[in-house]
Amino acid sequence: MAFPLPRGITPSEIAFLAEMETVTIVPRQRLEGLELLGGPVEPLVPPRRASLPLWLALLLKRQRRANIIPPSWLHPDPLGLILEVESQHQDYKNSFSPPPPLPGQPSINSFGKEANPRAQYTPDGDRYYAAPPFLPQNTAHGGDFTKETPALPFHWVEVGNMLLDAASDDLVEPDQIRRLLKDLREVRMSKMRSGVDVLDAAATVGGGVALTGVGAMELGEERGFVAGVVDNLRKIGASKEQARREQLADQRANGQYSATQDEEEDYMEF
């Protein structure tokens, strides 16, 4: 009997996708350029910085051929500020800190001016905007963290854990970063689990749970919990509807049914 796979993407698959994130390295020896499926990799010349996929950067780090420069958000000060905003700021009591701008949305550059995202083109000339994990959100110069509140990229959990495991000597105060990531993850998970309380009301009056700013691993880990809550709420709603219909049928049989109730039932069915 085959083992049933869980619904949706698994955490290991999410981590595999996160390995395509681009990071910044400082090579320690010369290496020739590579032709990868994701595009060509420029030749590595020390001490000139280069941007590589995370999986390749980790491979070179394990071989002691390069050092990884942590992204701008993976430092104690930005993480501490995000944790403070998530846990104490009233505006984000039931929501999450704002994510980096999506492709196609304007952002504010370091000069205080609005900067439109740069379009990319396919070999056929079609224009497109890159999306995670193909955005420079985890490079040393990626993202604008000069604003008051820094932003967490879509794969912040995966990238942070991978760099802590394989390149902790390249990070500033790795023990403090590990603690901040753990605290930040617990705070955000608590928000996600408390946010499902509104699903009961959303099932009757419409709406949903705002998950703007939630990362890929957070969504993958909470998918089963939220899906289970929704399924149970659907069953409860179906039993309530069945009980209401049985009550209306009894009222019809006893002659206690009014035209107003007919209109209400038609509205509910609509």
Single out the residue in 142, 176, 195 at which a domain terminates: 195
Same domain as 212, residue 130:
no
* pLDDT given at position 133: 79
Q: Are 46 and 27 in contact (CB under 8 A)?
A: yes
Show which of 195, 215, 231 is a domain's final residue: 195
Query: What DSSP character marks residue 44?
Result: B
CA 114 to chain centre: 25
- Answer yes or no: do 153 and 254 share one domain: no
Clarify whether residues 94 and 222 are in a common domain: no
pTM for this structure? 0.73
Nearest in space to 218 (alpha carbons), one of 192, 194, 197: 192
The pLDDT score that the predictor gives to residue 267 is: 46
Q: Please give the residue range of the domain that contains residue 224.
A: 202-269
The pLDDT value recorded for residue 270 is 45
E strands in the chain: 22-27, 34-36, 39-41, 50-53, 66-69, 107-108, 114-115, 120-121, 127-128
H helix count then E strand count, the chain: 8, 9
163 with 57, same domain? Answer: yes
From 172, 195, 218, give the residue that closes a domain.
195
Return the pLDDT at 140.
82
Residues 256, 144: one domain? Answer: no
* Residues 4, 92 share a domain: yes
Low-confidence ranges of the chain (pLDDT < 70): 1-7, 90-91, 102-118, 141-149, 195-209, 224-233, 237, 256-270
pLDDT for res 106: 52
